[in-house]
């Protein structure tokens, strides 16, 4: 209920349009979400998996460089930037709870700063972020969440300043937290393409079909060489995901045809990257593990979609309603998936509890104790 009330409160505040009032709303939600994320315990699908990594890495850099081989580092499955951050915290005698709080502080600060600076419809940006990204990339996939927050700041910085070297520097920092961010090195090339390639509905339909067909062929060739790759196929959710992406593109083009004369160069650039990300998704969607590569491009929707909606003159209420229903559905779908992934005793989404560091033992009433046993045994 805490999560649903959080999302509902943003919907209630969405009609607020005065600049100072929306700035205050963003600041208020930043403080609240920061406290919410920093004080959580056992919440998120990878919470205790990261604890295994935290407890396994050495407590000083000399041990890290002298005693760990490349194979050792690969066995932890984390990039050097994230490993360094863990070792730094351990060398300062800081706890895992403090480490989790810091890993929430970094992405939330960058994302909320970006919303404050670049979004022209801040409350709707907040809604999309909390509904579609907060639980997945702030509470669960910590490394990619940090990488995504660095990316969204870096790409808007690139568009506004044209400083490519600085962009690459920020992306390389992000890559040390999640290697998948390497895919965004292509962004400066995408921005050089003529906008007609990505903003003409006929070329987008044609290229999307080509990408989807090529992806299926690519998948079959991969599975024929590596049969175990079939494990990563999307399954039944694959077709539903394709439907949602197609719906998103239709909505975006519906708005674009009506507001294209009002869009700034920043919004046009974001739109090009966003459309490219969707086409890229059609190519890799048949292999679920690869689809996460496209999240960086799609993440820009927290700035892009609210801007386009703001410029709509007709049909604005209808579009807002569709997006609220769509993202609310995805929000509930994420909670439902967490209940099954973490083996929660109750599969009722209203029983998905936000356990905090102030009542840590409560987590054992929600999920099997075997999930958290290593943490409690080390206390």
Q: What pLDDT was estimated at residue 72?
A: 56
Half-sphere exposure of 116 (CA within 13 A, CB side): 16
Q: Which residue in this structure is represented by tokens 């973490």?
A: 342
pTM of the model: 0.89
Name the nearest CA neighbour of 171 among 160, 184, 186.
184
Ordered DSSP codes for 120-155: SSHHHHHHHHIIIIIIIIITT-HHHHHHHHHHHHHH
347 DSSP assignment: -
Nearest-angstrom CA–CA distance, 85 and 67: 18
The structure tokens listed for 197 are 């390639």
pLDDT by position in tens, the chain (length 379): 777 777 788 777 777 677 788 888 889 989 999 999 999 999 888 898 899 889 888 777 666 555 555 555 555 668 888 988 998 999 899 999 999 999 999 999 999 999 999 998 899 999 999 999 999 999 999 999 999 999 999 999 999 999 999 999 999 999 999 999 999 999 999 998 887 788 887 788 888 788 777 777 766 666 566 555 454 455 556 677 788 888 888 899 889 989 988 999 999 999 999 999 988 888 877 666 677 888 999 999 999 999 999 998 888 889 988 998 999 888 998 888 888 888 888 888 888 888 899 988 888 888 888 887 877 777 6
| Encoded tokens for 127 | 């809604």
pLDDT confidence of residue 288: 63
C-beta separation of 270 from 300 below 8 A:
yes
Backbone angles phi, psi at 40, to 5 degrees: -70, 155
Whether the CB-CB separation of 273 and 329 falls below 8 Å is answered with: no
Helix (H/G/I), strand (E/B), else coil: 334: helix
């Amino acid at each position: 209920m805490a999560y649903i009330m959080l999302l509902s409160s943003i919907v209630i505040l969405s009609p607020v349009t005065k600049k100072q009032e929306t700035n205050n709303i963003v600041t208020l939600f930043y403080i609240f979400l920061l406290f919410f994320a920093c004080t959580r315990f056992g919440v998120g699908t990878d919470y205790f998996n990261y604890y295994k990594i935290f407890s396994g890495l050495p407590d000083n850099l000399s041990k890290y460089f002298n005693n760990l081989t490349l194979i050792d580092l690969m066995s932890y499955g984390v990039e050097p930037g994230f490993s360094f951050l863990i070792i730094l915290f351990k060398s300062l005698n800081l706890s895992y709870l403090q480490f989790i709080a810091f890993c929430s502080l970094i992405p939330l600060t960058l994302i909320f700063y970006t919303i404050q600076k670049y979004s022209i419809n801040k409350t709707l940006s907040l809604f999309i972020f909390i509904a579609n990204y907060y639980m997945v990339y702030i509470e669960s996939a910590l490394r990619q969440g940090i990488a995504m927050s660095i990316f969204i700041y870096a790409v808007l910085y690139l568009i506004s300043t044209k400083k490519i070297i600085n962009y690459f520097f920020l992306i390389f920092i992000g890559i040390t937290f999640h290697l998948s961010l390497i895919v965004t090195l292509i962004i400066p090339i995408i921005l050089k393409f003529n906008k007609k390639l990505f903003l003409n509905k006929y070329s987008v339909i044609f290229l999307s079909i080509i990408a989807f067909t090529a992806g299926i062929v690519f998948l079959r060739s991969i599975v024929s060489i590596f049969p175990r790759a079939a494990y990563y196929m999307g399954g039944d959710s694959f077709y539903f995901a394709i439907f949602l992406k197609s719906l998103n593109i239709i909505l975006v083009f519906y708005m674009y045809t009506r507001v294209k004369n009002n869009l700034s160069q920043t919004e046009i650039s974001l739109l090009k990257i966003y459309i490219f990300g969707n086409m890229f998704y059609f190519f890799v969607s048949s292999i679920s593990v690869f689809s996460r590569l496209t999240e960086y491009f799609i993440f820009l929707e927290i700035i892009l979609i609210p801007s386009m909606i703001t410029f709509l003159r007709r049909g604005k209420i209808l579009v807002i309603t569709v997006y609220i229903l769509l993202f609310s559905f995805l929000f509930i779908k994420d909670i439902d998936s967490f209940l099954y992934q973490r083996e929660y005793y109750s599969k009722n989404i209203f029983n998905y509890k936000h356990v905090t560091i102030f009542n840590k033992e409560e987590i054992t009433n929600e999920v099997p104790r075997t999930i958290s046993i290593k943490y409690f045994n080390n206390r």
